[in-house]
Amino acid sequence: MAKERSLSPEARSILSARLSRRSVLAGAGGLGAVGLLSACGGGGDSGSSDNSVRWGNWPLYLDFDEESKTYPTLVKFADQTGIDAQYFEDYNDNDEFFGKVQAQLKLGEDIGYDVVTPTDWMAARWMRLGYTQKFDLANIPNHGNILDSLKSPSYDPNRESSLTWQGIMAGFGWNTEKNPKGIRTLDDLFAPQNKGKIVVLTEMRDTIGVILLAQGVDITKVTEDQFMNAVDFMAQKISDGWIRGVKGNEYAEDLTSGDATAVIGWSGDMFILASENEGKFDFAIPESGGTISGDNLMIPSTASAAGKANGEKMINYYYDPVVAAEVAAYVNYVCPVKGAQAEMEKIAPELATSEYIFPTEKTSSRLNVFRSLTPDEETTWAEAFQKAQGN
C-alpha cells in the first residue's frame, strides 16, 4: 500500500472507486449480442443504415467493461432504442482525424461517422467550413442540461451544432516509481531521471500552453513572439534529447510500456492508467496553471437524415445525468452535465468530490483557455509547432 499512499488524493479516489465503478458496469445488464460494439478503426468500414449510428471518438473515453469487452452505457442505449450503435476509437489527434475525412467532407460524401468528437478549436474549424449540421433540438430535450459555463462558446454561442462531451484538463502526468515526489513544475518534468523519456502532446494549445504558463505568459492574450519563444524551448528540449516524442493519444502506450516516465498529458487518461496499473501513474495541474478545453459531440454535414436523427438521440441519452455520471465514473474527465454530480454520489461517492471531474471554483481558477487564433495565426503557429517536432 506504500505505492498508493504516495498518490494524490484524486488518484487514491479513483483507485478506491474501482469497485463502485465495477458495480455500475455489472448493473448494465444484457451485455449480449449488442456487445459486438467494438473499438475498431475506420468508421467507414462498417457501413450505415437507417437504424444505426456511427460514432468516432478518442481512446479511453467511454465506460468499458474488460470482462465483456463492451461499452455498458452504449449497450443500454442500443437496448433501449433498437439503434445499432457502432463505436470507433479513431481519434488520435485532431489534425490527423480531420485530414482523414476532409476530402470527403469537401465532396459531400459519407465520411463513415454520424457523430464526431473534435476539440473546441477544431470544432470551430468544422463549423467555419460548413461541415456540421444544426441539431433538431426536439430530438435532444436534455440539451438544457449543459453546465452554464459551457452554454455559449464563441464558435457556437447558442449550442446549435455542438454539445460538450467532456472537459479536458492538461497538465503533468508521471510514473510514480520514477518520480516519487511527483511533478508540479517544468523543472520537475525535466529532472534527470526523465531525460529521454518525456512525451508531450501533439495538441499545440495544451503542450505550448503549459510551457507558456510556466514562463509566466497569460495564454488568453499570448502574442506571436511569446508563442514562438515557447516553441523554441520545446524544440531545444527535443534537440537535447529530453523529449522523446510529441504524440497524440498513444502517449498512454509509452507510459505503460515504460518508454516514457513523464508527460504533458490529460487528466482522465492518467487516472484511468492509475486505476488499471495499481497506482503506478499520477497527474497534477502545474503550479503555474494548466489548460482546459472541451471535446464536442457534433453531426457532420455528410450524415444522412437517419444518421443525424439517431445521433441526436444518442447525444440526448448521454446528456441524461444518470448516464453522464456512469461515463464520468470511468473516464474521470470534467463532466459537462448538470445533475451528474448528485448521481455520482449514488454510484461512486469518492468521485463526487473529485476536483478533476467536478472542479470547484478554486480548481477552475488554475485552469486557462488558450485564446482563439485567426485563420492566419492558426496556420503560421501550427507550422512552427510542426517544424519544432521535425515534421
| pLDDT score for 7 | 76
Domains 12-166+294-356 and 168-292+365-388 share a fold: yes
What CA–CA distance (Å, rounded) separates 285 from 59? Answer: 21
Mapped onto helix, strand or coil, the DSSP state of residue 260 is coil
Q: Higher model confidence: residue 41 or residue 252?
A: 252
| pLDDT score for 9 | 78
**pLDDT (average), residues 239-262:** 96
| pLDDT score for 66 | 85
Arithmetic mean of pLDDT over the chain: 90
Three-class DSSP labels, 195-228 = CCCEEEECCHHHHHHHHHHHCCCCCCCCCHHHHH
Nearest to 83, CA basis, from 74, 95, 92: 74
| pTM attached to this predicted model | 0.86
Cβ neighbours of residue 378 closer than 8 Å, sequence gap 6 or more: 121, 125
Nearest to 174, CA basis, from 104, 254, 91: 254
**pLDDT (average), residues 55-76:** 94
Q: Quick one: DSSP state of residue 152?
A: -
Task: Convert the pLDDT of each residue in 208-227 to its tens digit.
Answer: 999 999 999 999 999 999 99
Cβ neighbours of residue 138 closer than 8 Å, sequence gap 6 or more: none
Indicate the CATH number for domain 12-166+294-356: 3.40.190.10
Domain 168-292+365-388 belongs to what architecture? 3-Layer(aba) Sandwich (3.40)
| pLDDT score for 1 | 35
Q: Is the pLDDT of residue 348 over 60?
A: yes
**pLDDT (average), residues 141-153:** 95
**pLDDT (average), residues 95-107:** 97
What CA–CA distance (Å, rounded) separates 275 from 324? Answer: 20
Residue-range domain boundaries for the chain: 12-166+294-356, 168-292+365-388
| pLDDT score for 4 | 43
What CA–CA distance (Å, rounded) separates 379 from 36? Answer: 41
Share of the chain above pLDDT 90, in %: 83
What CA–CA distance (Å, rounded) separates 287 from 230? Answer: 18
Nearest to 160, CA basis, from 146, 174, 180, 175: 146
